């Protein structure tokens, strides 16, 4: 059972999410705007947050930034808008997933389950904490990745990425020179066993390439297939 915080200024949206979430055995707390959500997160702990973008008092992006100052609770953003700018902005501030209204409540529940599975059982070796850090260096150390510590350096400068950027980059790196389909990446990095959203993946690839700067050349697009981290 998860404790879900649902943040939306539309009562009908909160009601339908609550209905489906409680049917699956989850506990739900509601907030009508971003300010209320931030205050609730300062005094309570939630397993996952579902939050609308366009809200009075404080929009979803701003609320997410405030919440991220004190908590790394997974956040699914809801929006009636599907522009790429919104998606990039959302992922850049630390959103874990993005669902466009109108949405299927059943799909939303599946996305919640997928995210929580990744949070509870992250990819990687459970004994890694007892091993030497796994460090990969390319271009004579120009691009350096400490996979164990989840740190990335570009020309000696540490690069800050969103959690999913790190996950995606390290998965590509561990599977370098292997063609990875979009479905494979969505399944392994996001845990979408039943559905996938290629736009989510493509947006993260764009953000990752921006973070890597000149070393983005290592990420090769395979038309009609997916991507490959190609060490040349």
Looking at the structure, tell me whether residues 192 and 136 fall in a common domain: yes
Query: pLDDT confidence of 218, banded at 50, 70, 90?
Result: very high
Q: Tell me, what's the pLDDT at 203?
A: 87
Question: Is the N-terminal amide bond of 102 cis, ω within 30° of 0?
Answer: yes
Q: How much is the average pLDDT of 5-28? A: 96
- The per-residue DSSP string of 140-205 comes to TTTEEEETTTTEEEETTEE----HHHHHHHHHHHHTTTS-EEHHHHIIIII--SS---HHHHHHHH
Q: How many domains does the structure of the chain reveal?
A: 2
pLDDT tens digits, 81-105: 666 667 777 777 778 888 888 889 9
Beta bridge partners of 146: 135, 151
Percentage of residues of the chain with pLDDT beyond 90: 52
Using the predicted structure, report yes or no on whether residue 172 has a pLDDT greater than 50. Answer: yes
Find the CATH number of the domain harbouring 88.
3.40.50.2300
Query: pLDDT confidence of 232, banded at 50, 70, 90?
Result: low
Using the predicted structure, report yes or no on whether residue 23 has a pLDDT greater than 90. Answer: yes
Looking at the structure, tell me whether residues 109 and 140 fall in a common domain: no
Query: pLDDT confidence of 126, banded at 50, 70, 90?
Result: very low
Q: Which of 90, 120, 150 is the last residue of a domain?
A: 120
Looking at the structure, tell me whether residues 132 and 112 fall in a common domain: no
Q: How much is the average pLDDT of 136-148? A: 90
Using the predicted structure, report yes or no on whether residue 171 has a pLDDT greater than 60. Answer: yes
Q: Tell me, what's the pLDDT at 197?
A: 66
Q: Which domain holds residue 167?
A: 128-229
d(CA 78, CA 101): 7
Asked if 168 and 182 count as a contact pair (C-beta separation under 8 A), the reply is no
Find the CATH number of the domain harbouring 205.
1.10.10.10
84 — phi, psi (to 5°)? -60, -35
Using the predicted structure, report yes or no on whether residue 118 has a pLDDT greater than 60. Answer: yes
**Token digits for 211?**
């973070």
Q: How much is the average pLDDT of 145-153? A: 89
């Amino acid at each position: 059972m998860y404790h879900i915080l649902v943040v939306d200024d539309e009562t009908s949206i909160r009601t339908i999410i609550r209905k489906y979430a409680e049917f699956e055995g989850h506990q739900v707390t509601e907030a009508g705007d971003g300010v209320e959500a931030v205050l609730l997160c300062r005094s309570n702990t939630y397993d996952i947050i579902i939050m609308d973008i366009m809200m009075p008092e404080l929009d979803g992006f701003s609320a997410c930034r405030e919440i991220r100052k004190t908590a790394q609770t997974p956040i699914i953003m809801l929006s009636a808008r599907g522009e790429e700018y919104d998606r990039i902005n959302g992922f850049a501030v630390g959103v874990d997933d993005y669902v466009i209204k109108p949405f299927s409540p059943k799909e939303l529940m599946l996305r919640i389950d997928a995210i929580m599975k990744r949070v509870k059982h992250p990819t990687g070796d459970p004994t890694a904490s007892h091993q030497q850090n796994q460090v990969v260096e390319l271009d004579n150390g120009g691009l350096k990745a400490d996979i164990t510590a989840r740190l990335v350096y570009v020309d000696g400068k540490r690069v800050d990425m969103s959690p999913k950027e790190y996950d995606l980059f390290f998965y590509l790196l561990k599977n370098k020179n292997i063609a990875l389909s979009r479905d494979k990446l969505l399944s392994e990095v996001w845990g979408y066993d039943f559905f996938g959203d290629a736009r989510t993946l493509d947006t993260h690839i764009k953000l990752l390439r921006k973070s890597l700067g000149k070393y983005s050349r290592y990420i090769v697009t395979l038309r009609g297939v997916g991507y490959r981290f190609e060490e040349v």
